[in-house]
Amino acid sequence: MSDGWIRQVSPMIGDEEALAVQQVVASGWITEGPESRAFVAELKECVGSRFAVLAPNGTLALALGLLALDIGPGDEVLVPDMTFVGSASAVVLTGAKPVFVDVEPVTFQIDMADAERRLTPATKAVMPVHLYGTACDMAAVSAFADRHGLQVIEDAAQSMGVRFRGQHVGTFGDVGCFSFFADKTITTGEGGFVTCQDEGVYERLRLLRNQGRMNSGTFIHPSVGFNLRITDMQAALGRVQLRKLGLIIERKLELLAAYREALSGVRGVRVLGAAEGANHVPFRCAIVVDDAAAFIEHLSSHQIEPRTFFYPLHLQPAFASLRGPDDHGFPNAVAGYEGGICLPLHSALTVDDVSRIARAIRDHQEAAREIGTP
């Protein structure tokens, strides 16, 4: 990179995307139209969903999905304690209450044994979040939901291309929600989509996203809805991205393999991989070390932009009002935050960049060993 920094995010976008957007602008039809219809059809085909609608971003995709399932005031939704804040704020937007659940110690996916402990009579739904490019155990989530009569909202924001036992994530639950933010596997700048397999839910999604009517062009609104549409410029960009999905995944896996090789033998560094039964489309190169804060400082001093893991939701200042007497604690989410680092993994990264990052990590570990810290 020209300023010497290795940045965290850099989408694989180029002339093809620019041309696609330009053609939409030239056509004069810039709101949802032919490109959006084609994009939805291609997305459905890609993930294997019966129905889908587009959304302005991943957070609003989640809110839309929750609202379509009639989740609102008085309801509780189980949300993993380690996820991006948008998973929980989408629940808050509907008037429902997110109830945090600890995560697994190895994969950092939702811990279903802990979910069981957090159930109350108000629990209406569970939101498995497929984190860091692999999947939650959807067999366990579905069995749990069936046992307790809960709805399932899958947060698949980070998970284009991720399958559990061969089935694309986002198609197991009542709704599945994806994000196309610039750091996601494919991007439209901002954007998202919601999948569902039930025609009734699909109709509610359509009404909610388009001002309470099934189609534009009428001012008679059978129900209350909102404007949660996107534009054909974004859809055109997304269609080009979707055609590159295989290439993007291939590149991500090559870089992850380079990281694994470069970090092999470095003591005290664990590289996260695929969860059991799932594949891995790495969102970042997620590693776990003893003391993430010291590493982050060291990497930044070498012009490498790292990120922490997500800050546990139960500690978020924004959710202080949700805190209650907690018997169970969240040891794994806290340990994940204290030890987790996301290293850059995107198509602009080179194998030389990976070597530079791995060298900085190795140097840090060796220096720590010399002064006797773990």
Ligand X SMILES: Cc1ncc(COP(=O)(O)O)c(C=O)c1O
Q: How far is the CB of 272 from ligand X (least distance, A)?
A: 15
- Among the listed ranges 42-50, 153-161, 256-264, 318-326, the one in contact with ligand X (CB under 6 A) is 153-161
Say how far apart CA 243 and CA 14 lie, in whole Å: 13
Q: Which of residues 189-228 bind ligand X (CB under 6 A)?
A: 192
Question: Which listed residue (97, 124, 184, 244) is catalytic?
Answer: 184
- Is residue 129 part of the contact set for ligand X (CB under 6 A)? yes
Identity of the residue numbered 40: V
Q: What is the rounded end-to-end Cα distance, in angstroms, of the chain?
A: 33
Nearer to ligand X, 13 or 258 (CB): 13
User: Which residues fall within 8 angstroms of residue 287, CB to CB, at 6 or more apart?
Assistant: 263, 269, 270, 271, 272, 340, 341, 343, 361
Nearer to ligand X, 97 or 364 (CB): 97
DSSP state of 315: G
Nearer to ligand X, 342 or 361 (CB): 342
Q: How far is the CB of 114 from ligand X (least distance, A)?
A: 18
- Residue 116 parent element (H or E): helix 112-117
In 3D space, the residue among 176, 137, 132 whose CA is nearest the CA of residue 156 turns out to be: 176
Say how far apart CA 103 and CA 118 lie, in whole Å: 13
Nearer to ligand X, 183 or 290 (CB): 183
- Is residue 154 part of the contact set for ligand X (CB under 6 A)? no
C-beta nearest to ligand X: residue: 58
By rule CB under 6 A, what string of x and - marks binding of each residue 80-119 to ligand X?
---xx-xx--------------------------------
- Is residue 181 part of the contact set for ligand X (CB under 6 A)? yes
Q: Which of residues 40-79 bind ligand X (CB under 6 A)?
A: 57-59
User: Which residues fall within 8 angstroms of residue 359, CB to CB, at 6 or more apart?
Assistant: 262
Q: How far is the CB of 139 from ligand X (least distance, A)?
A: 21
Identity of the residue numbered 341: I
Cα-flanking dihedrals φ and ψ of residue 82, to 5°? -110, 100
Q: How far is the CB of 5 from ligand X (least distance, A)?
A: 21
Interacting residue with ligand X among 155, 174, 232, 353 (CB under 6 A): 155
Q: How far is the CB of 79 from ligand X (least distance, A)?
A: 10
Q: How far is the CB of 102 from ligand X (least distance, A)?
A: 16
96 contacts 76 by C-beta, under 8 angstroms:
yes
Nearer to ligand X, 110 or 262 (CB): 110
Can you say how many angstroms the Cα of residue 245 is from the centroid of all Cα atoms in its chain?
A: 16
247 contacts 268 by C-beta, under 8 angstroms:
no
Say how far apart CA 262 and CA 256 lie, in whole Å: 10
Active site residue 184: yes
- Residue 79 parent element (H or E): strand 76-80
* Contacting residues toward ligand X, per CB under 6 A: 57-59, 83-84, 86-87, 129, 155, 157-158, 179, 181, 192
Catalytic residues: 184
